Structures are given as C-alpha cells and as structure tokens.
Amino acid sequence: MRFTTILTLAVSASLANGVVAQNFGNNSNNGNNGNNNNNNNGNNNNNGNNNNGQDDGQDDNAGDADVLQLDPDLVQDASQVDGLGDDAEDGQAPSLTDDANFINFCSGKTVTNGLQVREGSCNGIVMGDIPAQDQMTTAIIVNPLPGDDLTENEDFDIQVQVNNLVAGFFTNPDNTYYAAPQQLTNGVVTGHSHVTVQDLGGSLAPTNPPDAIEFTFFKGINDDGNGQGLLSATVPGGLQAGFYRVCTMNAAANHQPVIMPVAQRGAQDDCTKFTVGQGNGGNAGDDADADDDAGDDGQDDGQDDGQDDQGNNQGNNNNNNNNNNNNNGQNNGGNNNNQGNNNGNNGNNFGGNFGNRFGRGRGRGRFSRRAFVA
C-alpha cells in the first residue's frame, strides 16, 4: 500500500473518532443539562412545597387569631396557689387552683347563659370592676322602722337609703341574668336595689330562719329614686296581720350581688323587723290594751319579768284590777318607771330588742306566698 493512502486513512479515522467523541461529549453534556433541569425542577418543586407550607402556616395563624383565648397579661398568679403557705392560719381551707384564670371552670356543666336556672348552673362570667374601699355600697331601711306596727291590708312604701350605688341600671332579668360583669361609674357600682318581705310566723324572734324560697313581697327597684340614694317600693294592698322581716338586696346592673374590695367591712344590705295588725299603734313599747284597765309594770334595764294572773310583787308595784287581770313586775330600787307594758287581754309578754313588749300574735298561721314579679 502506498504511503499516501495510509496517511489518508489515518486522518479519516482520527476525524471520525473526534466526531464520535464530540457527539458523546455533547450527549453527556445534554445528560448533565437534563440532570440540571431535573434538579432545577426538583428544587422548584421544593420551593413550591416551601411556599405551600408557608401559606398553610399563615392560614393556621390567621385561624388562631379568631379563636377565643385568654390574654396572657390577664393571668392572675394568685389563682395558681392554694393559699396554704407559711402565712396561712389554722382552719383555712385550700383554694382551688388554675393556671388560666379558671376560664374553663364550667366545662361539662349547665351554664347560666343569662337565665335564672332554678335547678342550679355554672356562670363563667368574670366578677368585673370592684370599687375602692371608700366607695363601698351601704344601705339603711328608713321605712318601716324597727318595731313599727302597720295597718292590715293597707298600702305602704318600703324606703331605703343607699349610698355609693349609681341606681337605675336594671338589665332584663329574663335573658341577661349574671350575663355581664359588675361595672363602675366614677368609681361607684352601677346597679339597682331589691326589697323582699318574709313572714316570720308568730314571733319577731324566731329561732329558725325563714325559707329563702318563700316571700310575701318582692320588688326590684329599677329607678334612681330621688337621685340622692333614697329608693322606694310600694306594697299594694299592704300585708295581712303578722310578724315580718324586710331586707334589701343591692345588686349590679345584671342582678349579681354587689362585690366589695375587702372582707372586713360593714354590710352592703339592711334588714328590719315590723308587725302588721298587732294593735300596738306602731309604738314598740306599748301594748294594745295598755289603757284598758290593765296594770302597767316594768323592770328597769329593759328586762320584762311581768307575769299575768300572779300576785307576786318585789319592791313597789302598782296593781290595777279593774278587769281582774293582775300584772306584776320587778322594779330595781322599788320604783315603777313604766318601762314596758303588759297586755292583759293577750296575757303574754314579748321581749323586744328595745326593752319593750309587743302584743302576742293571735295564733295565725303562715299564709300562701304572694307572687310579685320585678
């Protein structure tokens, strides 16, 4: 073979190999590019995942903004301890504890939800604003007075003077009962007062308290009275003859009892006792038949030891026998100062807190409760 022919073949083979190598290299590069594309696509997918994850997180956070939650700044540390530390006194009970202000205390229970639930319920509404010590609510009943005897079945007014209560705020008791916190106006509780009358049976000094369910008269006073704290409620038709107690129940606007800032204080409510139809003319120290020829005897220091139908006198006693009724008493120092009077007709003496006697009740029983709606 000639040399020129061999050289030509060698050059041709070299060129062919170069083309193949170039093509192979290009294919490899294309493969790399493909990988890069795949990787880039993968990265893009990852970015997409990241974006989706971020969006989901933002959606979750946005949802939390609408969820009911307790402001951390309002959490009270005192609710997290039971109070039985080193400064506790003997006999003190442990307090319930909760790390979140008892926000879920009513879980699983019947909630009050603005209603007067007679079967009992749980109210999750906070107590609310509490006044300062020098603006605490206080009340005194000015009518009827202690020991007053009122005319049977005759209209009369119950009057109470209330200080430190912005009266006239009375929400709907049918659907807002205990449904909002106590509020203040210029530091004073915003609310109203109630008055309730109960029959005490045959005495002004019963040993058993009256049933809280039973009442003879009840009224929520939803106005501001005379604007100076004097509130009034009329008892239409009056009351039957008997022995009664009248009390106030001062409340915030949503009817909850007013909440005060300290434990050691005077009461925010008042009660007084009076009679109806007992014939003592409203004078706690006079008996119905004091002027009906019955003797008047008393004992100094407000103690009544007089006994009907007995003839024992210690000291100097004045006996009047016009109606054949003898009333006797003891006089310290031998003098009758006419403190307290005996009722010859009834033959019984009632020792009052004021050193005076009321005529004994005529044995009347308790009558049915009269329903007065606020």
pLDDT (0 to 100) of residue 68: 81
Say if residue 357's pLDDT is above 90.
Answer: no
Task: Give the number of C-alpha atoms closer than 13 A to the C-alpha of residue 37, restricted to the C-beta side.
Answer: 6
Q: How many CB atoms lie within 10 A of CB 252?
A: 26
- Whether the CA torsion 72, 77, 79, 82 is positive or negative: it is positive
One-letter amino acid at 307 equals Q
Say if residue 356's pLDDT is above 80.
Answer: no
Give the integer Cα–Cα distance in Å for 70 and 123: 17
Give the integer Cα–Cα distance in Å for 299 and 338: 8
Give the integer Cα–Cα distance in Å for 191 and 222: 9
pLDDT tens track for 195-211 = 999 999 999 999 999 99
Give the integer Cα–Cα distance in Å for 212 and 266: 23
* 8 Å CB contact between 135 and 187: yes
Distance of alpha carbon 170 from the chain centroid: 14
Q: Is 5 left (phi over 0), alpha (psi -120 to 50) or beta?
A: alpha
Q: How many CB atoms lie within 10 A of CB 45?
A: 10
For 140-149, 246-255, 312-321, which range has the lowest pLDDT when averaged over its residues?
A: 312-321
Q: What is the mean pLDDT of residues 227-251?
A: 99
In the DSSP assignment, the letter for residue 153 is T
Say if residue 323's pLDDT is above 70.
Answer: no
Strand 271-276 versus strand 327-328 pairing type: unpaired
Give the integer Cα–Cα distance in Å for 275 and 203: 9
Q: What is the mean pLDDT of residues 334-355?
A: 39
Q: What is the mean pLDDT of residues 121-145?
A: 99
Q: How many CB atoms lie within 10 A of CB 31?
A: 10
pLDDT (0 to 100) of residue 319: 41
Tell which wins on pLDDT, 354 or 80. 80
Q: Where are the alpha helices (DSSP H) in the chain?
A: 3-65
Say if residue 44's pLDDT is above 60.
Answer: no
Q: What is the mean pLDDT of residues 239-255?
A: 99
* 8 Å CB contact between 139 and 193: yes
For the chain, what are the domain ranges? 138-276
- Residue that is written with structure tokens 């990265």 in the block: 43
69 pLDDT band, cuts 50/70/90, is: confident
For domain 138-276, is the CATH number 3.30.110.30? no
* Mean pLDDT score across all residues of the chain: 74
